[in-house]
Structure formats: C-alpha cells, structure tokens
C-alpha cells in the first residue's frame, strides 16, 4: 500500500493540494482568465481579489484565502476546476462568467453541495433549473428596468430596437419590446447576425421607414461602434441612442469617447469613477492599491458577489461550525445595500432588487443620469454623436 | 498473438481496475481523465480517416456537434434511453457525413477546406434552427449518463467507464479495419490510387466507408460529451477546439499508429492540465506548442513510435 500512497502523494503535490492554515477559509474562483471570455473574466476576478483584500482588512476575526482556477472559457475545464478546488477544501465558489461555462460549473458545485455565487450570467436557464446552491446577483431584468426607466424619462413615443441574435441580447430586446408596447410606444425591431459589420441597411430603414425618436441597441462593443459609425454617416432623425451593456464603460470612453458622445448605456459607475459611499471609497482605494488603475462595473460586480459570500461565511463561523449548507442558508438571508444597490435573493436565489443605472458619454467622460437619485450630472437630451 | 493478448490484458486491467481504484475518489483527476479520453476518441476517429482513408479533415467538429445535438435532443424530447440516444448520435453524424461524400472528389487541402466549410454550415444550422435546438441559448439540463454497475448515474467513475469502453471499441474497430483486406487495399491506395483501381479496388467506396466510420465514431463521442457536460450550445458543440486539440494529440502521439492518438491525447491533456497549468496558470498552452514543434522535428512519427524504438534498442 505504500506505493499507492506514494502515487497519490505525488498527484496531490502535482495538483497543488495542500492544507491551509487553520484560520484561513478557502474560497474558490472558477473563472475564465484566458479564451473567449478572458476580458470579462479578468475584470470580474480583479473585483473578487479586491473583496478578499477588503474583507481580510476589515473583518478582524476571519481570513479568506482565494484559490483561482482559470477555466480557459471551457465547460469541461470549468467542471474540472470546481472539482479540483473542492478537493482542496474550498467551502464555496465566487463564480465565473458566461452561461456556457457557469452552467456546468454551477451544476458540479451543486452536486458537491457547495454554494456558487455569480454575476456573470444573464440567461435565466440556470436559475430555472432550481439548483439549491446557485445564487445570482445580477439578471437581465435589471438591465431591462434601467433602459425602460431611462426611456420613460425621455420625451419620446417611438423606438427602434436593433439587436444581436445572441441569447442575452435578443432576450433583452424582446423584453423591452413587450414592455414598451404595453405602455403605448411604437416599437420596430431589427435583428442582426452577431458576425455583421455593415449596419447601413438597417440604419437606412430606421431613417426612411421607422423615423423613430429613439434608437436602442442591444449588442456588444463592436456592434455599438459599427452601428453608430453607420448612423454618423446616414444621420437618422433620432433624438438619442441608447445601448445596453458594454457601451458606457471606461475603455469605451477612453478609446471611443468622441464617436460615442451623448450615447446612453447601462453603467454602475461614472468615469472617471466617483464613489460617494464609504464602501465605494474603500473598494476604489483598495482596487487602486492592488491594480494601479480605476475599477470598471465588472470589477464592482465581482466585488459585490464575493463580499456577500464572505459575509455569509463569517456569520456561519460566528455561529459555530462552518458547513456549506449553513453558508447556503446564510446567503439566502442576505439583505443589504451594496455598491450595485440592494441585494436580496428571492425563492429562486435570484437578486430581486438588481437594477442597473444609466450613464451617458459626455465629452470623454461617463456620467450617471438615471435614476435621478444616483445621477452625477444632468443628461443631455436630445443628443446624438453627430 | 500471445504478446498481443498479454498487452490487451494489461491495458484492460489498468483501465478498468487500476485507474478507478487508484484515482476514483479524486473527482478532479477523474474529470481530467474523462476529458482527455473524449479528445482521444476524436483523435482516433480523425487518425482513422487520415491514416487509412488518406484524407486530412478540418471538419470533425461537425460530426462531434451533430452527434451531441442528436443524442441530447432525443434524450430530452423523446425520452430515449441514453445508450440508445448515443448510438443515434453516432448514426446522425454518419448520415450527415453522407452529405459530405461529394467532397471525396477533392484531394489534399481542397478536401480539408471543403469539410471545414461543412462544419460551419452545421454550426449555423444549429444556431438558426431555434425551434429544434433553442438557437444560441443552447440546451441545458441534458440527461446525465446512465449508471454503470454500482456507480450512480452521472458519477465520475461511471462516466469514465463508459468513455473508456467507447474508446476501446473504437480501437478494436480501427484494428479490425486496418488488418482486414480493406485495410490492405487502403494502404495500397496510399502508394498509388490509380494502380489499385486498375486491379479492381473501388477506391471511392473505400474512402467513403472510412469517412462514414470516422464520422460515426466522432458523433458517438460528441453524444457522450453532451450527456457528460449536460449543456450544449452551437459555438461549443461545433467549436474548432474539437478538431485542433485532437489533431495536435494525434500528431503528438503518432497518427500512423492505432494507439498513438489515444496516448497522445491522454499525455497532452494531462501533462498540460496537471503540470504546465500549475507552473503557468495563464499561457501554459505555449509549452505544448513548443513540445509539438520539437516532436515533429525530432520524431515526426510521434511519441509512440519514439518510445517503441527506444524500448527495442534497450531490449537489444
């Protein structure tokens, strides 16, 4: 049996399995740091690392040790990552990004009975599975509410929605269509293939047929830029352009501020970032200390999902023995204001209070313009990038 | 013959008893082994087409994706037993490969590119046929693999036993074809296709048979993976990863040998994930790339022929 022990010991060493110090609570992060989801995964992970730093500084009694596995944006490696970290003794996961990666990883965590908290999934499909240990802090409904709230605050009655055929973008576009039509707006829909780069035909239709007052785009970075470039050429008679996620971000303001000037988009933070709450200031200071740059909204999401998990772990520890089932129960009780608003989970472990804010590009900066109580500057309306 | 039986006995003993006994309790290691065998299965099917059929394919992801979708949809919508659904996945990929038969008129890079185009076509069909495939949203909650012996459904060991059985079945089929008179004719075709035609060999039929067989094998592995991961989406099911990594594994292990692609897949995947990834958490794939280049330069036949030559030299 000695040789079996020897082989196992070798593999244990190769796997990097080691015993942590008694005071440290191991938490896993199964996240894409390479592959197609690398950019979003890396930003989220920076927020997670900041949460570890802040929690360990402020809690005083308990220390979190983060173990990270890069799942390379691959479902099989995401499962392997969850199982690897479970064998290393993690008590919970602060999760990854992308439905295709999170879905199998969350199922693997659920089978192991370990909590899995994420801000990286828009699709409701995982929530609908009814996994007991899966918690989602953000959802597409929060984006719908924000865009709808902004539109209702504008003086307009007709909307053209241009949307990518991908699941998250088309789902958001259709939800918006339903909500807007229900409140008396005239809505026209224009779907495009995710690989499309020439949007002049669609913009021409909006200019000549739709003649809508608002242009809503549900897509990703390159889609926004290509659509707005086409609109700058054809100049449709819209009063405002409103994007969904990924348009009102620091990289977009830095690199494409002029093209995007006056466009709206979901954003949790202005650029340059301004944090008014104490927690926000602590987050920004620590983020700057670790990464020497300004945080974006994905980092804020990563921070919030991790912080509520760490706090749940701390509450369980304060009560007695640390058991995953107790962490799940404590997470379900979460109800507090965070950097991204109130977090309280419903019976499906979905955050029922998540609502995005709306920002506007204004001369190379991003200001928050909706909701009114979070606004950092008045909105410019009507306002288009040309 | 005795040596061969002895080798098989050792391999079966290792695969069915030693691996589950030693590593069964380590879910992480078992999931890596299963993932490596999935790649090994595709690598075997790809090498069969290349080695026996003489065709280099860049489109095996089409067979993988079709097999995965057929099996998942039959299990979800028609309550097919998983075993039967997986067989149907293989048959589905085989039927799809029939559509590719016109490409057999092409040779070399033209065949490779044409079959790559087919893979893209099937990815687009899976994306756009939303009523059937749920489009880009994909399929979730795909039923898990069945229980094997006393190991429960979807457990690591039962999944491992199923995939290892599939891969061994592929090796037996590959070996049977290679040693049959069809294999002799296929090898002769490599030397001169015109000459084999003159002596009455229907080369087109033989190449078609290899394409169908390779597609069926890949489809079954795709079906296995769908029930193992429990999730499918077009970009994943038809992704380039299902052809790039198996080709690397097959070339690394020795695609002219029967065991080479499988050995290559297991070695490449496990060494990459267990060793290189621990040293370089990001960008570890570059080491694999370097090793592959070195292997091609110094042992173009791959790892297995290299090991065989060294073992023979030591014996001498």
Q: pLDDT at residue A330 above 90?
A: yes
Q: What is the mean pLDDT of residues A88-117?
A: 91
Predicted local distance difference test score (pLDDT) of residue B45 = 93
Q: pLDDT grade, residue A26 (50/70/90)?
A: very high
In whole angstroms, give the CA distance from residue A381 to residue A359: 13
pLDDT reported for residue B230: 87
Interface contact A11-B235, CB threshold 8 A: no
A141-272+357-374 to CATH, choices 3.90.950.10, 1.10.3720.10, 3.10.560.10, 3.40.50.2300: 3.40.50.2300
| Burial tier of B168 (Cβ tally within 10 Å: 0-12, 13-18, 19+) | middle
Closest residue in chain A to residue B225, using alpha carbons only: A76
- With cut-offs at 50, 70 and 90, classify the pLDDT of residue A8: very low
| CA-to-CA dists, residue B312 to A81, A372, B302, angstroms | 40, 80, 16
Q: Give the residue extent of every domain in chain A.
A: 18-139+277-344, 141-272+357-374
* pLDDT at A9 > cutoff 50: no
Residue A18 predicted with pLDDT over 60: no
Residue from the list A15, A77, A126 with its beta carbon closest to the beta carbon of B274: A15
d(Cα A275, Cα A284) in Å, to the nearest integer?
Answer: 7
Q: Among A12-21, A39-48, A262-271, which is the least confidently predicted range?
A: A12-21
Asked if residue A190 has pLDDT above 90, the reply is yes
Helix, strand, or coil here: B29?
helix
Angstrom distance (rounded) from CA A334 to CA A344: 6
ipTM of the complex model = 0.74
Radius of gyration of chain A (CA): 22
| Residues of chain A found within 8 Å of residue B141, distances taken between Cβ atoms | 129
- Say whether pLDDT at A276 is over 90: no
Q: Strands, E, within chain B: which ranges?
A: 139-140, 231-232
For residue A74, the chain B residue with the least C-alpha distance is: B236
Which residue among A70, A77, A100 sits closest to B236, beta carbon to beta carbon? Answer: A100
pLDDT at A99 (0 to 100) = 81
Residues of chain A positioned with their CB less than 8 A from the CB of B28: 15, 80, 83-84, 86-87
| More confident site: A339 or B200 | A339
The answer on pLDDT for B290 being more than 90 is no
Lowest mean pLDDT among A64-68, A87-91, B204-208: B204-208
Query: CA–CA separation, B288 vs B48, rounded Å?
Result: 23
Q: What pLDDT shows up at residue A21? A: 40
Looking up tokens 């590959």 gives B174
Q: Which two tokens stand for residue A354?
A: 């998540």
Is the Cβ–Cβ distance between A105 and A82 less than 8 Å?
yes
Give SS3 for A152: helix
* Residue from the list A70, A84, A126 with its beta carbon closest to the beta carbon of B28: A84
pLDDT in tens, A57-78: 998 889 999 999 999 888 888 9
Label residues A302-318 b or e (16+ Cβ within 10 Å = b): bbbbbbbbbbbbbbbbe
Q: Find out whether A53 and A286 touch, Cβ atoms under 8 Å.
A: yes
| Chain B residues inside the 8 Å CB shell of A80 | 28, 31-32, 35, 273
Q: Who has greater pLDDT, B194 or B31?
A: B31
d(CA B295, CA B204) in angstroms, rounded, equals 33
Angle at B256 between CA B250 and CA B257, to 5 degrees: 85
Could you say which architecture CATH assigns to the domain A18-139+277-344? 3-Layer(aba) Sandwich (3.40)
Q: Is the pLDDT of residue A25 over 70?
A: yes
Model confidence at B255, pLDDT cuts 50, 70, 90, reads confident
What does the pLDDT read at residue A90?
95
CA distance B159 to B143: 13
The reported pLDDT for the residue numbered A345 is: 95
User: Residue A89 above 80 pLDDT?
Assistant: yes
- Tell if the CB–CB gap between B135 and A7 is shorter than 8 Å: no
**Domain spans, chain B:** 2-315
| Contact yes or no for A70 and B281 at CB 8 A | yes
* pLDDT exceeds cutoff 90 at A106: yes
Which chain A residue has the Cα nearest residue B231? A104
Q: In this predicted model, which residue has the larger pLDDT, A274 or A23? A: A274
Task: Identify the residue with better confidence: B244 or A384.
Answer: A384
Residues A79, B275: C-beta atoms closer than 8 Å: no
Q: B172: how many CB neighbours lie within 10 A of its CB?
A: 12
Task: Give residue A123's pLDDT.
Answer: 77
Confidence at residue B199, expressed as pLDDT on a 0 to 100 scale: 78
Does the pLDDT value for residue A17 go beyond 70? no
A12-21, A132-141, B42-51: lowest mean pLDDT where? A12-21
Which residues in B lie closer than 8 A to residue A75 (C-beta atoms)? 229, 231, 236
Q: Would you say A176 and A218 are in contact if contact means Cβ atoms under 8 Å apart? A: yes
CA distance B5 to chain A (A): 27
For residue A275, the model assigns a pLDDT of 87
pLDDT at position A320 over 50: yes
- Residue A41: pLDDT above 60? yes
Contacts for A321 with CB less than 8 Å, ≥ 6 apart? none
DSSP B106: S
> Which of B35, B133, B137, B222 would best serve as a mutation to test chain A binding (most A beta carbons within 10 A)?
B137
Measure CB to CB from residue B136 to each of A8, A76, A165 and give the nearest one. Answer: A165
| Token pair recorded at residue A255 | 């690199």
The 10s digit of each residue's pLDDT in B215-239 is 999 999 999 999 998 888 888 899 8
Which residues in A lie closer than 8 A to residue B135 (C-beta atoms)? 165, 167
- Collapse the DSSP code of B220 into the 3-class scheme (helix H, G, I; strand E, B; otherwise coil) and give the result: helix
C-beta atoms surrounding B23 within 10 Å: 20
Burial of A13 (0-12, 13-18, 19+ CB in 10 A): exposed
> Are residues B140 and A103, on separate chains, in Cβ contact within 8 Å?
yes
Residue of B31, B245, B265 for testing the chain A interface, max A β-carbons within 10 Å: B31
* Over residues A104-118, mean pLDDT: 93
CA distances A302 to A92, A93, A169, B88, Å, are 15, 12, 21, 42
Mean pLDDT of chain A: 89
The predicted-structure confidence for B159-172, as pLDDT tens digits, reads as follows: 999 999 999 999 99
CA distance B133 to B126: 6
Q: Of the candidates B137, B235, B278, which has its C-beta nearest A123's C-beta? A: B137
pLDDT of residue B249: 87
Please answer yes or no on whether B136 and A74 come within 8 Å at the CB atom.
no
3-state SS class at A180: helix
Taking an 8 Å cut-off on Cβ atoms, the answer to whether A100 and B231 are in contact is yes
pLDDT-above-70 percentage for chain B: 97
Q: Do A11 and B23 touch (CB under 8 A)?
A: yes
A18-139+277-344 and A141-272+357-374: identical CATH topology: yes
Q: What is the mean pLDDT of chain B?
A: 87
Q: Return the structure tokens found at A76.
A: 């099989």
Lowest mean pLDDT among A174-178, A382-386, B188-192: B188-192
In angstroms, the separation between the Cα of residue B164 and the nearest Cα of chain A is: 17
**Least confident stretch, A41-55, A146-160, A248-262, B139-153:** B139-153
Q: How confident is the model at residue B1 (pLDDT cuts 50, 70, 90)?
A: low
Residue of B nearest to A80 (CA): B28
Facing residue for B35 by CB, picked from A8, A70, A80: A80
Give percent of chain A above pLDDT 70: 94
CB A106 within 8 Å of CB B143: no
Q: Where are the alpha helices (DSSP H) in A34-191?
A: 38-59, 75-87, 99-112, 125-129, 140-153, 167-182
Class of domain B2-315: mainly alpha
| CA-based radius of gyration for chain B | 19
């Amino acid at each position: 049996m000695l040789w079996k022990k020897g082989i196992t010991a070798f593999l244990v060493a190769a796997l990097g399995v080691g015993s942590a110090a008694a005071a440290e609570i191991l938490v896993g992060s199964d996240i894409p740091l390479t592959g197609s989801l690398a950019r979003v995964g890396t930003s989220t992970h920076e927020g997670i690392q900041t949460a570890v730093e802040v929690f360990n500084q402020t809690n005083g009694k308990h220390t979190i040790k983060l173990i990270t596995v890069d799942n390379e944006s691959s479902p099989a490696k995401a499962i392997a990552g969850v199982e690897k970290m479970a064998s290393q003794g993690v008590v919970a996961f602060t999760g990854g990004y992308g439905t295709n990666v999170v879905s199998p990883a969350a199922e693997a965590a659920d089978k192991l009975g370990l909590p899995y908290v994420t801000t990286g999934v828009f699709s409701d499909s995982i929530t609908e599975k009814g996994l007991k240990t899966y918690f989602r802090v953000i959802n597409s409904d929060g984006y719908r509410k924000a865009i709808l709230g902004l539109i209702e605050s504008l003086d307009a009655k007709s909307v053209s929605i241009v949307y990518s055929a991908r699941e998250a973008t088309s789902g958001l576009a259709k939800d918006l269509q339903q909500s807007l039509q229900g409140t008396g707006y005239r809505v026209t829909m224009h779907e495009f293939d995710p690989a499309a780069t020439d949007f002049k035909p669609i913009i021409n239709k909006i200019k000549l047929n739709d003649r809508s007052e608002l242009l809503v785009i549900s897509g990703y970075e390159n889609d926004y830029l290509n659509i707005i470039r086409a609109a700058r050429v054809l100049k449709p008679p819209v009063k405002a352009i409103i994007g969904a996620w990924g348009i009102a971000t620091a990289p977009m303001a830095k690199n494409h501020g002029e093209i995007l000037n006056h466009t709206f988009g979901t954003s949790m933070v202005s650029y340059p970032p301004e944090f008014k709450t104490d927690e926000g200031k602590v987050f920004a200071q620590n983020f700057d200390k670790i990464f020497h740059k300004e945080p974006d909204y994905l980092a804020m999401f990563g921070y919030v999902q991790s912080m509520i998990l760490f706090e749940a772990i701390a509450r369980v520890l304060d009560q007695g023995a640390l058991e995953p089932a107790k962490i799940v129960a404590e997470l379900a009780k979460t109800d507090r204001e965070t950097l991204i608003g109130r977090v309280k989970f419903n019976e499906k472990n979905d955050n029922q209070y998540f609502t995005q804010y709306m920002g506007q590009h204004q001369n190379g900066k991003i200001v928050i313009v909706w909701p009114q109580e979070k606004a950092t500057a008045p909105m410019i309306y009507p306002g288009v990038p040309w | 013959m005795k040596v061969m039986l002895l080798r098989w006995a050792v391999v079966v003993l290792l695969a069915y008893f030693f691996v589950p006994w030693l590593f069964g309790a380590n879910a992480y290691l078992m999931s890596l082994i299963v993932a490596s065998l999935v790649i090994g299965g595709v690598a075997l099917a790809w090498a069969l087409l290349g080695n026996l059929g003489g065709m280099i394919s860049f489109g095996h992801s089409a067979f993988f994706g079709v097999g995965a979708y057929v099996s998942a949809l039959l299990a979800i919508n028609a309550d097919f037993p998983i075993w039967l659904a997986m067989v149907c996945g293989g048959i589905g990929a085989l039927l799809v490969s029939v559509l590719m038969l016109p490409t057999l008129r092409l040779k070399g890079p033209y065949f490779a590119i044409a079959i790559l185009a087919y893979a893209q076509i099937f990815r687009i069909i899976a994306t756009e046929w939303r009523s059937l495939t749920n489009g880009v949203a994909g399929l979730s909650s795909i039923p898990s693999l069945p229980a094997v012996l006393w190991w429960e459904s979807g457990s690591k060991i039962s999944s491992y036993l199923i995939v290892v059985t599939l891969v061994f079945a592929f090796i037996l089929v590959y070996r049977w074809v290679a040693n049959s008179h069809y294999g002799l004719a296929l090898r002769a075709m490599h030397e001169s296709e015109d000459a084999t035609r003159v002596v009455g060999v229907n080369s087109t039929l033989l190449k078609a048979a290899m394409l169908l067989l390779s597609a069926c094998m890949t489809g079954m592995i795709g079906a296995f993976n769908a029930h193992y991961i429990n999730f499918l989406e077009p970009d994943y099911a038809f992704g380039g990863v299902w052809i790039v990594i198996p080709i690397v594994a097959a070339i690394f292990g020795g695609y002219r040998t029967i065991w080479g692609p499988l050995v290559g897949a297991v070695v490449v995947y496990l060494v990459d994930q267990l060793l290189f990834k621990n040293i370089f958490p990001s960008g570890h794939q570059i080491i694999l790339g370097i090793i592959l280049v070195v292997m091609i330069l110094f042992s173009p036949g791959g790892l297995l022929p290299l090991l065989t030559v060294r073992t023979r030299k030591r014996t001498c």
